[in-house]
Amino acid sequence: MLRFNRVFRDGGGFDSALVLLALAYLVFFSAFPLIYNLVISFQSVDLFTIATFDRPFVGLENYRDIVNDPLFWPVVRNTILFVGVSVVFQLAIGLALALFFRLDFPGATWLRGLFLAGWIMPGLVVGAIWGWLLAGDFGVVNWLIQSLGLTQQKIFWLSDPSISIYSVIIANVWLGVPFNMILLSVGLAAIPADVYEAAELDGATRLQRFFTITLPMMRAQLGAVISLGIIFTLQQFDLFAALTQGGPSNASNVLQYWSWELAFREYRIGHGSVVSVFMILVVIFVATAYVRSTRHEHVV
């Protein structure tokens, strides 16, 4: 007992217990599902074998089916488009707003706080609202652009296959901007004011200050925001469910939605897992980049 006390209180026992607790949590809730998902992707799984572990292994068959599926490349292309365009615009608008709110004007902080309202709203609610805004026949957006005389024809934002993916992107950018803005604001606040003052005294213009001070000193934050943006965007499911269901004719289908469709609409659970394995690989790659960018932070 004494010995235990000594180890636990004074030695490394307590530290190890804390670490083990966190580790156990990770193993249970992260590692296990990930590995389980990987295992399922090599098995033939349907609704009725989902509760047992004893399922036939089919090797790479599921992978072959998915890669040869005529939907595979269009869906990959859509996913890259969705993630790429979303992240670029979220970041650009988020940074612009962060810089804007850095200007000291009355109400700046609380206006900035209000922006967060959008971010805390559930995706399905945001999706439903954008659904009304973008509706083809009676949508607010169409009414607006028609009354402004920008177009005579209605734009079928959600049901025109060449446009629908961009409609989801618009909603997703709106949803992601506040998060980007807040994270970047924090980064901006950490840059010491005297650096700017010194540069100003030396005659640096606003633009020069932005490119030689702000951007380099924000490197870590930008890296983090971009990585998190990619991960969040890859997770974006609700907006697709609420707006287009990946349609029409899969024109706005992306990996995360396709995976769900395969597993829970067609009950091809093994195939759905294959798609999510692909996504995990991408996320691991991005997460590595994120970890590296935050490691950089400690040096600064």
Binding site for another protein (CB under 8 A): 47-52, 135-138, 156, 158-161, 164, 244-251, 264-267
CA distance 300 to 293: 11
User: Closest approach of Cβ 185 to another protein, in Å?
Assistant: 37
Provide the minimum distance between the beta carbon of 196 and another protein in the complex, in angstroms, as a whole number: 50
Structure tokens at 57: 């292994």
Nearer to another protein, 74 or 118 (CB): 74
- Report in angstroms how near the CB of residue 121 gets to another protein at its nearest: 22
Taking the least distance from each CB to another protein, the nearer of 159 and 294 is 159
Which amino acid is residue 81, in one-letter code? L
Straight-line distance from the first to the last Cα atom of the chain, in angstroms, rounded to the nearest whole number: 46
Q: Is 197 left (phi over 0), alpha (psi -120 to 50) or beta?
A: alpha
> Count of CB atoms within 10 A of residue 56's CB?
10
Check the CA dihedral 64-66-72-76 and report its sign: negative
Choice between 140 and 284, CB closer to another protein: 140
> Minimum CB separation from another protein for residue 150, in Å?
18
DSSP string, 217-267: HTHHHHHHHHHHHHHHHHH--HHHHHHTTT-STTTT--HHHHHHIIIIIS-
Q: Give the nearest distance from C-beta 174 to another protein in angstroms.
A: 20
Least Å from the CB of residue 62 to another protein = 15
Nearer to another protein, 223 or 246 (CB): 246
CB-nearer residue toward another protein: 54 or 194: 54
Residues in Cβ contact with 159 at an 8 Å cutoff, skipping those fewer than 6 apart: 136, 244, 247, 248
Q: For residues 31 and 67, which CB has a smaller minimum distance to another protein in the complex?
A: 67
Contact predicate 173/236, CB 8 Å: no
State the nearest-atom distance from the C-beta of 135 to another protein, in Å: 7
Work out the widest C-alpha separation in the chain, in whole angstroms.
85
Q: Which is nearer to another protein, 146 or 294 (CB)?
A: 146
